Every structure is written in C-alpha cells, then in structure tokens.
Structure 1
Amino acid sequence: MLTADTRAVIKSTNTSDRGRASIKDVAALAGCGIATVSRVLNGSGPTSVATHDRVLAAAASLDFQLSDIGRSLRTQRTRTIGCVVPSIANPVFAQALQGLQRAARAAGHQLIVSGSNYTLDQELEAVTTLLGKQVDGLVLTVSDPETSQALDLVRERGLPHALMFNHAPSLAPCASVDNASAARLVADAFVDQGHRLLGFLALRFGSSDRSRQRFEGFGARLQEHGLEAPVLLEVDDEPAHLADHLPSLLDEHRYLTGIFASNDMLALAAMQAARTLSLRVPYDLSIVGFDGIAIGQMVEPTLATVQTDPEAMGTAAAETVLAALRNEQVSSSCDQTRFHFRPGGSLSRCRDDQTDSGEVAASPLPSPTHPREPSLKKD
C-alpha cells in the first residue's frame, strides 16, 4: 500500500512537458539512488518494502519502462529467439510456429521469424541476420543438416539451438518425426489397396532432407513387399507455382496408379493437376500426402496422409532452446512426435485393369546424393 508521503511526492511531480522519463527521474521522485531503482525494477536485489513501493509508484506515475537495449547490455540477453523455416505459406510451418511462439512467450521471450524459401542462400542469409540481432537462441528448419552452412555457423557460435522437422539426432537436438518410418506406413497403405506401380512426388532433395528421407523409407518398404522402387518425380517450385508443368509431369507417367507426395501441399497440387488431365482421383490415380494439414479434410475427395503434430514439434524445439538458456543439460537426441496414417478419399482400391503391361518399367531407386533428373517436357 502506498504511503501518504509517496502520494504527495507523485502529486508534486509533472513530467508531461519534459518528454520521456529517465531512470534518474524515477530515482529523484522515489527519493533513492539509481542503483536502487534498477534493483527494484529488475528484481535483482533486496530493498525495503517502503522503498520498493516508492519506486514502483514513481515508475508508474512517470510511465517509465526499462530499456530492452539497456537490459540486454547488462544481462547479455535480448529475450528473443530466432526461427528460420522454409516457408510461412505452408500451414504445417505456421502450426509449428504457434507452438514455438506460445512456449517462448511463456518464458518471457519474443519470437523473430524468417523464411528461407527453400534456398540455401536465403537460409544462410536469414541465420546471419538473426545472429546480428543478437538472438538468445535459434530454432531452425534447414534444407539438409549434413551440408547446411547456416547450421554450421550456429554451431560455431555456440548459440543454443534446435532443429525442427529435420530428423538428424547425430548433429543437433531436434523435434521431428522419423520420416522414413512414417513413409513406410504409406507404402503399406498402397500395397493393401493393390497398387503396384507407384511414384513419389517431391521438391528437389537439395531443398528438403525430409523429402529424401520419406522417399528412402517409402522405397525400402516397397522393395520389402517385392515391388519396384517408386518413380521419382522431382519439381523445383512450391505448390503455388506448379500449374504450368505438374500436369505434363503426371501425363508423362500415366501408367502410375498411385503417387505419394512428400507433403500435403504438393499432394493437393497433384490432385488439381490430375483434374486438368481428366484423371479421376482416386479412380484413375490415388494420391497420398504427408503432414495432415486441416485443409486436406476440407477438399473432395479428402486427402489420405500421414498425420503429424507440427505444433508439438514447435513446442518441443522451443523448450529445448529454453532449457539450454537456463544452463540445463540438453540431449542431442530427437524429440520424436507421434504420427499415424490418416485414411482419406484420395486413396482407393487399385482397379483390376490397372496392371503393369510391361511397356513402362518403374525406375530404380536413385541415389539421394545424385537423384535422377525427371523430364518436364510436354508431349
């Protein structure tokens, strides 16, 4: 409770004509030293109850707030966490950012987000910029942890960090799903529906290690079923820019009865492209995605996919970085979030007449480091 003397001091002071109040103004109004004001407002040392009340009352009267810049100079912390993701247009990353932001705010940190647009140059530029802003920690989704210069830079700086979506437990703490294991579920689903000639649609592997891992898991499981490896259908562009050449790519591989897309946005784009070719999904072509974004259940037919929990990944990545900032020991292993196969109308039983005529053979499993270049020419 404020004393009568404190109220009197506040009444006698008017700073409206002096501009923004300083910590000296607060100290003068509260009748104490600047160091005492700093201890009270920062909660960094003991003071008497009366002094504590006078300082708070004076700061409130003057509408004074400690400078974040000044605080960061004293504590060597900016109370910010940086985050780099490939795209903020893909809902899966937006969901992850929700979990990340919630956990960061709960710990008193603000989030600074930058997009790399699936390019290595922009990935490195984004990390360099965030390091220049003196963020306390970083959460990253990189193109490939094995070769990422951006990740190497963060590790060299010794900055607390975690990977998000990237499954690379030997390189950094990460919050992800086991992409290869999840993709095996998709292979089982296709085989259960009688499909034998399958394709895998992905952004180029140089842009996404997640795509490569899903392709490897999918192909390995098909081979365990005694089937040919999937045909690799790589594209350069994000889904919004696929309208020009994705139809020709699908038209070139009409013998395929099913396509596994490395993410839901690509799967939805493939469904649209199939319609332009008068291919009926799933009667002529079954399509399965990966991620489980909500829009997949709002289209007709609904999208069969691997359901993941991006928000949980964001939360786990944030908690890893925050633990490191508290000087708690952080494991280098991955926090693997749950996943399951979600059936949908885009996957159905393969028709009896959709059989391998022998005219076109499925392609062998390409090397992840030297993937086969697909033809994008029009017939």
Structure 2
Amino acid sequence: MSRTVTIKDVALRANCGVATVSRVLNDSGSASPAARRRVWDAAKELGFEFSDIGRALQSSTTRTIGCVVPSLANPVFADAVQGLQEKLQQAGYQLLLTCSNYDPDSETAAIRTLLAKQVDGLVLTVCDAGKSEGLRFAGQRGLPCCLMFNQPTKDLAACFVNNFEAARCVAKEFAAAGHRDTGFLALRFGSSDRSRQRFEGFVSGCRDFGMAPPVLLEIDEDGDNLSALLADMLTAHSKLSAIFASNDFLAIAAIRAARQLGRKVPADLSIVGFDGLEIGTMMEPSLATIVTRPKLMGRGAAETVLAVLTGNPPPDPQNKSLSFNFREGGSLAPPRKAEKNDDGKVPASPSSSPTLRKSCDDKTKD
C-alpha cells in the first residue's frame, strides 16, 4: 500500500526546510528563485498535493462558504445557487450547500453543521428571518453572512425582492382585469416569511384598488391535498374568480387542481404566480407571473460576503432590493361577469404568448 507523500518528503527532495516548502506552496513568503524551482519540481515528481485541511490549519480559513436554501426542487433556488457558486469560484472559494426542506428545525441543524465545518461565511434563505434560531447561532460566531430572498434584518444584509410591493402589483393587475373576489394560495407562513410578505402586500393592494379582502389558503410544501382544499375554497366562496399563488410551483399545481375540478383557466378561474419560472411560458395557457432575477440575487449575496472577507466595502447598496416585472400570460383574463364591453361585444381572449410588462415595477402605488 503506497504511503502518502508529506511536506517533509518534498523538503528532503528539494534539499530545503519544511518552512520554505510551505512558503512556496502557499505563496505566503519569500524564497529564492532557485529554491522555488526545486520545491515545485520536487512536489511534481513526488505527486504531492497540499492538503486543504493543512492549508486551513495554517491560515485559519477554509476558503468555503456555507449556503442553506429551502429546496432545489424549485428552480428559483437552483438558479440563485448557480449565481452564488459562479461568483464564489471566481474568487477561489468553494460552496457547501444544504437544504432545509422549509423546516425551521432542519434549518437550524444545517446552519450548525456548516458552522462546525468552519466555513468562512454564510449565505442563507431561512424560513423566517425574524425568528430563525439558526441565524442567532450564526450571529454569535460573527461570520460574514448575507440573506438571500429574505428581506434584511437590523443585523444582516440581504439580496431580495420587495415581496410586499410585487404582490401589490398583482392586485393591481387583477383589478385592471375586473376581478373583485380573489384568493391567495400560500405555503404556510411558518415555513416562508416571503409567502407572508406577499400576502400582506396583496391584502394592501386589494384594499387600495377597491377589491374585497382576499381569501387565504395555506398549504404544506408537498401540497398533496390541494385539489380537495381548492374545492372547499371555491365552494365556500362562490364569487371567487382569481387566485394569486405565492410561487410559480403553487400556481402550476393550482391550474392542474382547477382542471381536475372541471374549472377552466382562465375562463372560470384566473391564476397568477410569483418567480417567473421559464416553464410558465411553455404551458397552455402560459402563466401570468411576477418575474424576479434569482441568479443575480445569488451573485449579489456572494459579493456581499466576499467584500467582508477581503476587507473591502460591501456593494452599494449593501441591501439589494432587486427589480421585478409582471409577465402577462394566458392564465389571467377578465372574470365571466366582466367579459362584455359597453357595446355588448365580447372581447378577444388574452394572448397566450407571455409579455413582460416593465412598467409594473415601481408603479404599484399609483
């Protein structure tokens, strides 16, 4: 069985001290050109690889960043992680990734595990930034940390979308289409503070745009009984003509459930999502939704953590509220009672081709 080559072996082959080998391989100190050449030649001949563990012990850094997201099943988180990883790799850092499955206890355990692995910083999407036990542990360590998707707290920077204002935008679109009685389909608020913030914004928009208060339906992340719950909701609220889902996955599931109940989308029920997943443009009808920029969110979170680690000023602004847009789609149309114009003619059905409406972003308070 072959023996692992050590730094002492390299020093003997290069005819120099261990400290010289360490300085050369770490590029952390002075050494003559001749000594550098001997060290690198010896390391290559012996097949020596400087251990990341040894490097960490010497430099008090692991060159790793920990990340916790709720799930990778939802592409919005996968896109954000991709942007995060690309930026970290450019800076010479590796990403340690774990998922919490929208569970606060799992989230805390995941953060504890990353802290035990001595990560240099953290990028986190937590269930509830205001109540997260894991965030408290991270704060006690004093590590550079940035939230992603969650809105900032008094102690932590964040790269996020203003969920409240984006949801007001959806209410405005419903009102413009003639809807008055609507519902809000949400992941349970204890699992997602983003879901709660979107509901609060939607409630505000419905009030300001002259609509009835929305009916709330909270479901678990798996959504196994969505059809039955939706049937109960529509039976109890017969005037309901539109639903805003707190993410695109839920919106797509709601469209499927509505069809199982014999409801046509959008003729019987309009449905709007949140996130702007590309799959929504491939559906029939296409999904009307709020479009966000998750990959840019991940890159921004990486920049924030890296700035602290390298002693540079954080990005300006440190808390990045990213832009959003409303993407029109075939899943949103006027309710049946609003279909006729003053001349008695029925307007053409909305195009199923998605259109990005850029004007939505900053005009939700009009």
CA gap 1:107/1:24 in 2 versus in 1, 3 angstroms: same
Q: Who is 1:63 aligned against?
A: 47
- Pair 1:265-2:243 in alignment: no
In the aligned structure 2, how far is the partner of 1:346 from the partner of 1:244? 18
Measure how far apart 1:34 and its partner are: 0.9
CA gap 1:171/1:18 in 2 versus in 1, 3 angstroms: closer
Measure how far apart 1:255 and its partner are: 2.6
- Pair 1:248-2:231 in alignment: yes
> How many residues in Structure 1 have an aligned counterpart in Structure 2?
338
CA gap 1:296/1:50 in 2 versus in 1, 3 angstroms: same
In the aligned structure 1, how far is the partner of 2:328 from the partner of 2:157? 31
In the aligned structure 2, how far is the partner of 1:333 from the partner of 1:150? 22
Report which stretch shifted further, 189-198 or 43-52. 43-52
Q: Which runs of 4+ in 1 moved over 6 A?
A: none
Counterpart among 8, 12, 16 of residue 32 in structure 1: 16
Cα contact 1:247–1:276 (8 A) shared by 2:
no
In the aligned structure 1, how far is the partner of 2:120 from the partner of 2:150? 21
Q: Who is 2:81 aligned against?
A: 97
Counterpart among 133, 144, 148 of residue 160 in structure 1: 144
- Residue identity in the other structure for 1:269: A
The sequence identity of aligned pairs, in percent, is 54
- Residue identity in the other structure for 1:271: I
In the aligned structure 1, how far is the partner of 2:123 from the partner of 2:260? 39
- Residue identity in the other structure for 2:100: S
Where does 1:29-178 land on structure 2 (aligned, <5 Å)?
29-178=13-162
Measure how far apart 1:243 and its partner are: 4.8
Cα contact 2:179–2:211 (8 A) shared by 1:
no
Counterpart among 275, 283, 287 of residue 299 in structure 1: 283
Q: Who is 1:318 aligned against?
A: 302
Counterpart among 329, 333, 338 of residue 344 in structure 1: 329
Measure how far apart 1:170 and its partner are: 2.6
Where does 1:221-240 land on structure 2 (aligned, <5 Å)?
221-239=205-223
Q: Structure 1, residues 13-67: CA drift from partner, whole Å, max 9, x if none?
A: xxxx852211111111112111111111100012121211111111111111111
Counterpart among 189, 193, 201 of residue 209 in structure 1: 193
Residue 352 of structure 1 aligns to a residue whose secondary structure is helix
Measure how far apart 1:171 and its partner are: 3.6
Q: Which stretches in structure 1 are left out of the alignment for 5+ residues?
A: 1-16, 355-379
Measure how far apart 1:242 and its partner are: 4.2
Measure how far apart 1:214 and its partner are: 0.7
Measure how far apart 1:245 and its partner are: 3.5
Residue 337 of structure 2 aligns to a residue whose secondary structure is coil
Q: Which stretches in structure 2 are left out of the alignment for 5+ residues?
A: 340-366
Residue 47 of structure 2 aligns to a residue whose secondary structure is coil
Residue 66 of structure 2 aligns to a residue whose secondary structure is strand
Cα contact 2:184–2:214 (8 A) shared by 1:
yes
Measure how far apart 1:184 and its partner are: 1.2
Measure how far apart 1:329 and its partner are: 4.0
Cα contact 1:250–1:274 (8 A) shared by 2:
no
Q: Structure 1, residues 140-172: CA drift from partner, whole Å, max 9, x if none?
A: 111111111111111111111000000124341
Q: Structure 1, residues 86-131: CA drift from partner, whole Å, max 9, x if none?
A: 1111111000000011111111111111111111111111111111
- Residue identity in the other structure for 2:173: A
In the aligned structure 2, how far is the partner of 1:306 from the partner of 1:70? 47
Q: Who is 1:360 aligned against?
A: none
Measure how far apart 1:84 and its partner are: 0.6
Residue 83 of structure 1 aligns to a residue whose secondary structure is strand
What's the TM-score, normalizing by structure 2?
0.88
Q: Who is 2:344 aligned against?
A: none
Greater Rg over alpha carbons, structure: 1
In the aligned structure 2, how far is the partner of 1:247 from the partner of 1:166? 28
- Residue identity in the other structure for 1:326: T
Cα contact 2:64–2:121 (8 A) shared by 1:
yes
Q: Who is 1:366 aligned against?
A: none
In the aligned structure 2, how far is the partner of 1:26 from the partner of 1:282? 71
Q: Structure 1, residues 216-274: CA drift from partner, whole Å, max 9, x if none?
A: 111111111122211111112334x3456444344434431000000000000000000
